[in-house]
Amino acid sequence: MTEALPALQVRELRTRYGSREVLQGLDLHVAKGEIFGLLGPNGAGKTTLIRTIAGRIRPIGGSVAIMGQPVSRQSLGRVGLVPQEIALYPHLTAQENLEVFGRLSGLSRAETDDAVRWASRASNIQARLGERVEYLSGGWKRRVNIAAAILHRPDLLILDEPTVGVDVDARNGLHEVIKELSHVGMGVLLATHDLDQAELLCSRVGFLRNGVIAPHGSPRTLIFAAFGNQREIIVELRASPTAPQGEALRRAGFSPSNGNLNWSMLGQGNERTVQDLTDALERSGLLTREIRLREPGLDSLFLRLSRDDSAARQGEAA
Ligand SMILES: Nc1ncnc2c1ncn2[C@@H]1O[C@H](COP(=O)(O)OP(=O)(O)OP(=O)(O)O)[C@@H](O)[C@H]1O
C-alpha cells in the first residue's frame, strides 16, 4: 500500500521571510526510487524549500507530505537530510561518528551496529571506517556524511549540493552511491548547481524560478522541448573581440556565454557550418581557438531560462 505513495508530495507551498514570498505556490513530487534534481540560480529558494520540507521553516500555505503523512516528528523520521556543510565530529573515526549518530537517533546498541554496517556498505565507506574524519579527503567526508543521514533507512533522502568542492573521481564515486540508494528504493531530492550531474543522475529535474518549479520533466524531454534538433555552435576566441567584431558576432546570432572569449548560438549546424564560420570569422579578423558543435544540455536550458527571466525583469522595470 505505502509503496504507491510518493516519498515526497508538496502542494501549493508558500514560504516567506518577512514580506518576501520565496516559495509562491510550489508543487513537487518525488517517487520512491527516483532521483529528482532541484535546479535553480543562486537565491532561487532551494535551501528554503529543503528547510521547509524538513520542518525547520513553517510555511504560510500549502502542504508537505512524506510518505503520505504531513510533516511531524514521526514523518520526519522517514527523511534523511545531507546538508551542504560536513556535519561530523572531526576527531572521531568514521565508525565512531556513525555510532554516535545512531545512538543519538534513539537506536539501541545492537540496532546501531546493524545500521552502521548497512549504511557503510550502502555508501561504500567500509575501507575508511577506522580513519579519523579530519584526515579524510573531501569526497570521503561527504560519503560519511551520507552514511550518517541514512542510518535509519529513510524513504526520502535530501542532498543539498553533495559534490561541491570534490574532485572528478570522488564525484563519480558519490554518483554511484546516490544511484545505489535510489535502487534500494529511496526517493532522492538532489539540490545541485552541477547541471552535468543532474543530467547524468536524475530521472526528472525541475527549475526553481520565481517561487515555483517550472519547467520540470526528464532532462531529455525538457531539452528536446526547448531546442528540438538544433545544435549549439560554440566559438572560443583567442583574444577579446573589438567592439565592431562583437557587434558582428551578435548580428550573426551569437551571444557571449562565459566572458567575451566564448560565444554560442543555436542552429542547424553541421561540419560545413563550422568550416564556413571559421572562414567568415577569420576574414573579420577574429582569432578562433576552437569552433565546435554540441548537443544542447541542461546547461543550455539553464542559460536560456536565465536570459528569459532577466529579459522579463527588465521588461517589468521599463
Ligand atoms: N533567514 C532568512 N531571512 C531572510 N531572507 C532569507 C533567509 N534565508 C534566505 N533568504 C533569502 O531567500 C532567498 C532564497 O534563499 P535560498 O538560500 O533558499 O536560495 P538557494 O536557491 O538555496 O540559493 P543558493 O543556490 O545560493 O544556495 C534569497 O533571496 C535569500 O537571500
Tens digits of per-residue pLDDT, 292-312? 889 999 999 998 898 888 888
Residues in the chain: 318
Q: What is the mean pLDDT of residues 114-137?
A: 94
Count of alpha carbons within 13 Å of 141, Cβ hemisphere only? 22
Q: What is the pLDDT of residues 97-121, one digit of tens each?
A: 999 999 998 899 999 999 999 999 9
Q: Give yes or no for residue 187 CB within 6 A of ligand 1.
A: no
Confidence band, pLDDT 50/70/90 cuts, at residue 34: very high
Q: What is the pLDDT of residues 39-78, one digit of tens each?
A: 999 999 999 999 999 999 999 999 999 999 999 989 999 9
Q: Inform me whether the pLDDT recorded for 263 exceeds 70.
A: yes
**Where is pLDDT greater, at 70 or 259?**
70
CB-based burial of residue 225 (10 Å sphere; 0-12 exposed, 13-18 middle, 19+ buried)?
Answer: exposed
The cell for 56 is: 525547520
Q: Give yes or no for residue 43 CB within 6 A of ligand 1.
A: yes
Backbone φ/ψ region at 17: left (φ over 0), alpha (ψ -120 to 50), beta = beta
**Where is pLDDT greater, at 249 or 154?**
154
Specify the ligand 1 atom closest to the Cα of 193.
Answer: 25
User: 44 alpha carbon to ligand 1 midpoint, in Å?
Assistant: 7
The cell for 55 is: 520542518
CB atoms inside a 10 Å sphere around CB 131: 15
pLDDT for the residue numbered 1: 46
Instruction: Give the chain's mean pLDDT.
Output: 91
pLDDT for the residue numbered 18: 94
pLDDT for the residue numbered 248: 85
- Reported ipTM: the value is 0.97
Q: Inform me whether the pLDDT recorded for 253 exceeds 90.
A: no
User: 49 alpha carbon to ligand 1 midpoint, in Å?
Assistant: 10
User: 43 alpha carbon to ligand 1 midpoint, in Å?
Assistant: 5
Q: Which residues contact 150 (CB under 8 A, 6 or more apart)?
A: 80, 119, 122, 123, 157, 181, 186
Q: What is the mean pLDDT of residues 245-253?
A: 87
Q: Which residue has the least CA distance to atom 29 on ligand 1?
A: 43
* Residue entry with cell 522541448: 225
Q: What is the mean pLDDT of residues 160-182?
A: 89
Q: Is 211 helix (H, G, I), strand (E, B) or coil?
A: coil
Q: Cα(209)–Cα(305) distance, rounded to whole angstroms?
A: 9
Q: What is the mean pLDDT of residues 77-106?
A: 93
Confidence band, pLDDT 50/70/90 cuts, at residue 142: very high
Q: Inform me whether the pLDDT recorded for 267 exceeds 90.
A: no
The cell for 148 is: 550518517
Residue 207 near residue 39 (C-beta atoms within 8 A): yes
Q: What is the mean pLDDT of residues 16-39?
A: 97
The model's pTM is 0.90
Q: What is the mean pLDDT of residues 132-159?
A: 94
pLDDT for the residue numbered 60: 96
Q: Inform me whether the pLDDT recorded for 258 exceeds 80.
A: no
* Angle between helical axes of 298-317 and 219-227 (0-180°, round to 10): 60
Q: Which residues contact 253 (CB under 8 A, 6 or more apart)?
A: 265, 267
User: 22 alpha carbon to ligand 1 midpoint, in Å?
Assistant: 8
Q: Which residue has the least CA distance to atom 11 on ligand 1?
A: 43
Residue 63 near residue 213 (C-beta atoms within 8 A): no
Specify the ligand 1 atom closest to the Cα of 208.
Answer: 21
Q: Which residue has the least CA distance to atom 18 on ligand 1?
A: 45
Q: Which residue has the least CA distance to atom 25 on ligand 1?
A: 42
Q: Which of 45-49, 71-75, 231-235, 314-318 is predicted with the least confidence, judged by mean pLDDT?
A: 314-318
pLDDT for the residue numbered 273: 75
Percent of the chain with pLDDT over 90: 66
Strand order of the β-sheet with 156-160 is 79-82, 156-160, 187-191, 35-39, 204-209, 212-217
Confidence band, pLDDT 50/70/90 cuts, at residue 186: very high
Q: Which residues of 177-191 are buried (b: 16+ CB within 10 A; e: fewer)?
A: bbeebbeeebbbbbb
